């Protein structure tokens, strides 16, 4: 006889919001995938998504990385419009349904990247925190841009216009300045297994603290 399949696990009250951040090439997509696989194996009910989204504003932003850069303020407005829709359609409903919501980038990217183009990152944070739920945990995969550049070229990708090294250095400084009690800095220069172990133990602690 087969055992009954386990019902999906959800948190008792509101869900939790876990965000991966860091410069391009820090290993976010790999770590997002690994975390999602581990949580699914433990039957957690997940929402997994990324920003910019694949909706209208997000598509325009991705296109702009190759077809011609928008001005910093136009770019900021579009990222915020994309995020407003994301919050309303995906993030809030997931949290309201007590799920674990995992995002590959969120508003800390907005502050770091558009801040690196000269806008005031504190003001960008304020604009976002006026409508976007604050993450319970930000996993900041921290890496030197010189190393991330080597990784990006090593996977056969060409750095896009969001990825110039001096700007990435500035992004890294802004990530460091934003670090608070909900941001965990993870040294992403180590191997994939070591990073995944840190990610899983931080998320495990968060879920355990919310599970009762
Ligand atoms: P990314 O998820 O890295 O796309 P891909 O992996 O397909 O290249 O995001 C694309 C770029 O968007 C990335 O370089 C960071 C940038 N970005 C911002 O500038 N501001 C934001 O608010 C967000 C969410 C992303």
- The pLDDT tens digits of the residues spanning 31-78 come to 999 999 999 999 999 999 999 999 999 999 999 988 888 999 999 999
Residue 1 pLDDT > 70, yes or no? Answer: no
Q: Enter the CATH code of domain 16-211.
A: 3.40.50.300
Which is nearest to 205 in space by CA: 14, 9, 16, 76?
A: 16
CA of 212 to the centre of ligand 1 (A): 35
Tell me the pLDDT tens digit for each residue of 135-165. Answer: 999 999 999 998 887 787 778 776 665 568 8
Q: Whose CA is nearest to atom 3 of ligand 1?
A: 24
CA of 40 to the centre of ligand 1 (A): 26
Tell me the pLDDT tens digit for each residue of 186-205. Answer: 999 999 999 999 999 999 99
CA of 211 to the centre of ligand 1 (A): 32
Domain ranges of the chain: 16-211
pLDDT band, residue 96 (cuts 50/70/90): very high
Q: Which pLDDT does position 63 carry in this prediction?
A: 93
CA 119 – CA 160 distance, rounded (Å): 20
CA of 202 to the centre of ligand 1 (A): 24
CA 42 – CA 181 distance, rounded (Å): 27
Q: Which pLDDT does position 154 carry in this prediction?
A: 78
Secondary structure (3-state) at 174? helix
Cβ–Cβ under 8 Å, residues 179 and 140: yes
Task: Please indicate whether residue 86, judged by its CB atom, sits closer than 6 Å to ligand 1.
Answer: no
Q: Which pLDDT does position 74 carry in this prediction?
A: 96
Task: Please indicate whether residue 110, judged by its CB atom, sits closer than 6 Å to ligand 1.
Answer: yes
Beta sheet of 100-104, edge-to-edge order: 46-50, 100-104, 16-21, 137-142, 183-187
CA 111 – CA 127 distance, rounded (Å): 10
CA 191 – CA 171 distance, rounded (Å): 22
Q: Where are the beta strands (DSSP E) in the chain?
A: 16-21, 46-50, 100-104, 137-142, 183-187
What's this model's pTM, rounded to 2 decimal places? Answer: 0.93
Task: Please indicate whether residue 69, judged by its CB atom, sits closer than 6 Å to ligand 1.
Answer: no
Q: Whose CA is nearest to atom 14 of ligand 1?
A: 162
Task: Please indicate whether residue 116, judged by its CB atom, sits closer than 6 Å to ligand 1.
Answer: no
Phi, psi dihedral angles at 91 (to 5 degrees): -75, -55
Q: Which pLDDT does position 199 carry in this prediction?
A: 98
Average confidence score pLDDT of the chain: 94
């Amino acid at each position: 006889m087969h055992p009954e399949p386990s019902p999906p696990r959800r948190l008792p009250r509101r869900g939790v919001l876990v965000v991966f951040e860091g410069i391009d090439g820090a290993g976010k997509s790999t770590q997002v995938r690994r975390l999602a696989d581990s949580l699914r194996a433990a039957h957690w009910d997940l929402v997994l998504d990324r920003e910019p989204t694949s909706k209208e504003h997000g598509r325009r932003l991705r296109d702009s990385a190759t077809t011609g850069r928008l001005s910093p303020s136009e770019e900021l407005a579009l990222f915020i419009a994309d995020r407003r829709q994301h919050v309303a359609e995906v993030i809030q409903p997931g949290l309201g349904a007590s799920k674990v919501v995992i995002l590959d980038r969120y508003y800390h990217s907005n502050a770091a990247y558009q801040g690196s183009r000269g806008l005031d990152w504190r003001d960008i944070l304020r604009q976002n925190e006026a409508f976007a739920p604050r993450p319970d945990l930000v996993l900041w995969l921290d890496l030197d841009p010189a190393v991330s550049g080597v990784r990006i070229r090593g996977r056969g990708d060409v750095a896009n216009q969001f990825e110039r090294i001096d700007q990435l250095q500035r992004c890294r400084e802004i990530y460091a300045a934003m670090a608070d009690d909900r941001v965990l800095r993870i040294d992403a220069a180590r191997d994939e297994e070591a990073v995944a172990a840190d990610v899983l133990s931080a998320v495990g602690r968060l879920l355990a603290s919310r599970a009762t």
